[in-house]
């Protein structure tokens, strides 16, 4: 009887391994769940601008967000603009809710900015799962902006 139970347990274990979904075994975690790339400045028509802009010139700060998972992912797109002296000039975000970005889909959100003073600024771009939980889905990227 003992051998029968061991054989049954072994068969169950083999079947479980054979039929189990490997999505969870190879699941992406942390900052591998999404990718953020190609940070850029755009004008109101969506045309790419240089990183040298003028005071009071309205621009859009955009980047490509790619869902690297096999399931849809809601996310928050966050842009923080920091002056050379370390002072945050603008912090804004928006939420893409359920169901979110589809697997392997790319989305290029943009945040509007109108610089009031000349200087060197850095746009820090984050993609998190939510504002409340603040779990990063991708590594932060930055874009240097010169305002004259």
State residue 23's pLDDT score: 43
State residue 19's pLDDT score: 46
Whether residue 148 is predicted with pLDDT greater than 90 in this model: the reply is yes
| Plot region of 77 (φ>0 → left; ψ -120 to 50 → alpha; else → beta) | beta
pTM across the whole model: 0.79
Q: Which helix (H) or strand (E) holds 8?
A: helix 2-19
For the chain, the structural domain boundaries read 28-147
Tell me how far apart the alpha carbons of residues 139 and 136 are, in angstroms, rounded to a whole number. 7
**Structure confidence by residue, pLDDT tens digits, 121-137:** 999 999 999 999 899 99
**Structure confidence by residue, pLDDT tens digits, 9-21:** 445 545 444 444 4
| 98 — pLDDT class (breaks 50, 70, 90) | confident
Please, which residues have CB within 8 angstroms of residue 15's CB and are 6 or more apart in sequence? none
38, 90 contact by CB (below 8 A): no
Tell me how far apart the alpha carbons of residues 7 and 122 are, in angstroms, rounded to a whole number. 63
CATH label, 28-147, candidates 3.40.50.10890, 2.60.40.1080, 2.130.10.10, 2.60.40.10: 2.60.40.10
Tell me how far apart the alpha carbons of residues 142 and 146 are, in angstroms, rounded to a whole number. 13
Whether residue 4 is predicted with pLDDT greater than 80 in this model: the reply is no
């Amino acid at each position: 009887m003992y051998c029968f139970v061991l054989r049954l347990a072994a068969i169950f274990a083999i079947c479980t391994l054979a039929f189990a979904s490997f999505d969870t075994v190879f699941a992406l975690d942390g900052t591998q769940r999404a990718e953020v790339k190609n940070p850029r400045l755009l004008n109101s028509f969506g045309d790419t601008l240089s990183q040298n802009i003028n005071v009071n010139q309205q621009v859009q700060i955009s980047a490509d967000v790619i869902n690297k998972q096999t399931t849809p992912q809601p996310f928050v797109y966050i842009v923080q603009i920091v002056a050379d002296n370390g002072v945050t000039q603008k912090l804004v975000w928006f939420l893409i809710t359920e169901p979110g970005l589809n697997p392997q889909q790319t989305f290029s959100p943009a945040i509007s900015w109108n610089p009031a003073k000349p200087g060197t600024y850095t746009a820090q771009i984050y993609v998190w799962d939510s504002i409340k939980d603040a779990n990063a889905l991708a590594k932060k990227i930055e874009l240097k902006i010169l305002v004259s």
